[in-house]
Amino acid sequence: MSQSSEPPRRTAQLPKDDLPESVVRRRMIKAFGWFALASAIPVGIYEWITHSVGAQGIKRPLRKVIEANEQVARTYFSDNHLVRTFPVEAAAKKARVNGYDGLKSPIPEDWKLQVDRVNEEPLMLSLDDIKALPKHEIVYEFKCIEGWSQIQHWGGTRLSDFVEKYKLGTRPGAARSGNSTGADALFKYIGLETPDKGYYVGIDIESALHPQTILAYELNGQPLNAPHGAPLRLIIPVKYGVKNLKRIGRIFFSDEKPRDFWAERGYDYYVGL
């Protein structure tokens, strides 16, 4: 290192007028290069996000509908991270049980999943109808807002596959101007409740259609038992336990926030992870 009291003057500190023209030109080119690179980064990130969505298993027609509404699409893409999964061996052999609201009466013998639709009769589906859709299994860390968590292994059908198969969740004739696909827009929320309406949740549509959200009928490869939500429950890994409604009786779509059992008792409505 130089020990002189005057630090050696570097060319960068010279007044610009003193610099040879070739140096100035080189610097301008360099500066422009940095500028071009900096502008390319956000574009690159956007491209990466929009393309990785397809790679994570969102079905084309569904994406079209989602893309139809720019605001929804933005939230949807940003919510589209996947939660961490584990090998099957990591799952608890005996899953913990918590919460019996809406489960106090026996499971209705004539249980059907009621799905409300706009300007149409509700769908009344059997468990076999649900099982006819592709099966999806997930092993992940289930988290209860009360402070416990457990790695659990669930099986069922993706809610997004179900919504696509039965053409649900869209608001007819709500296509926006300037929307080239002409697709209907999605409702903002999905509501679920137990057959006796003793427990109920509302969920933003982006989280509901997340590729890891499932209508579950199996736990550890076995049919669900009553305390875990037989015959069909929601498993939504991007949310805390409270939103994972057990024993689904009815599903509906809405632009207004569906009422929510724990939100009414002071918890955050979205309780996302």
Interface with Mo ion (CB under 5 A): 144, 241-242
Q: How far is the CB of 167 from Mo ion (least distance, A)?
A: 33
CB of 162 to ligand MTE, least distance (A): 19
* Closer residue to ligand MTE, CB minimum distance, 72 or 216: 216
Q: How near is the Cβ of 171 to ligand MTE at its closest, in Å? A: 28
Closest listed residue to residue 81, CA positions, set 169, 171, 210: 210
Alpha-carbon Rg for the chain, nearest whole angstrom, is 26
Q: What's 64-106 look like in SS3? A: HHHHHCHHHHHHHHHCCCCCCECCHHHCCCCCCCCCCCCCCCC
Q: Would you say 101 and 198 are in contact if contact means Cβ atoms under 8 Å apart? A: yes
- Minimum Å gap between C-beta 69 and ligand MTE is 29
The nearer residue to ligand MTE, 59 or 86, going by C-beta atoms, is 86
In the complex with Mo ion, which residue's Cβ is closer, 122 or 272?
272
- The torsion defined by the Cα of 164, 207, 103 and 265, in degrees rounded to 10, comes to -140
Applying CB under 6 A, the residues found at the interface with ligand MTE are 95-103, 144, 194, 199, 228, 241-242, 244-247
Q: Nearer to ligand MTE by C-beta: 213 or 244?
A: 244
Give dist(CA 184, CA 172) in Å, integer: 6
State the binding partner of 244 from Mo ion, ligand MTE, none, CB within 5 to 8 A by kind. Answer: ligand MTE
| Residue 136 or 246 with smaller CB distance to ligand MTE | 246
| Residue 181 to residue 254: CA distance in whole angstroms | 22
Torsion sign across C-alpha atoms 51, 57, 59, 64: negative
Least distance from ligand MTE to the Cβ atom of residue 44, Å: 40
Q: How far apart are CA 229 and CA 209, in angstroms?
A: 20
Instruction: Report residue 189 as tokens.
Output: 């929320």
State the minimum distance, in angstroms, from the CB of residue 242 to ligand MTE: 4
Q: Which does 97 bind (CB under 5 to 8 A by kind): ligand MTE, Mo ion, none?
A: ligand MTE
Residue placing its CB nearer to ligand MTE in the complex, 80 or 157: 157
User: How far is C-alpha 243 from the geometric centre of its chain's CA atoms?
Assistant: 13
Task: Give the integer Cα–Cα distance in Å for 121 and 114.
Answer: 10
Q: Which does 199 bind (CB under 5 to 8 A by kind): ligand MTE, Mo ion, none?
A: ligand MTE
Residue 258 binds which entry of ligand MTE, Mo ion, none, with Cβ cut-offs from 5 to 8 Å by kind? none
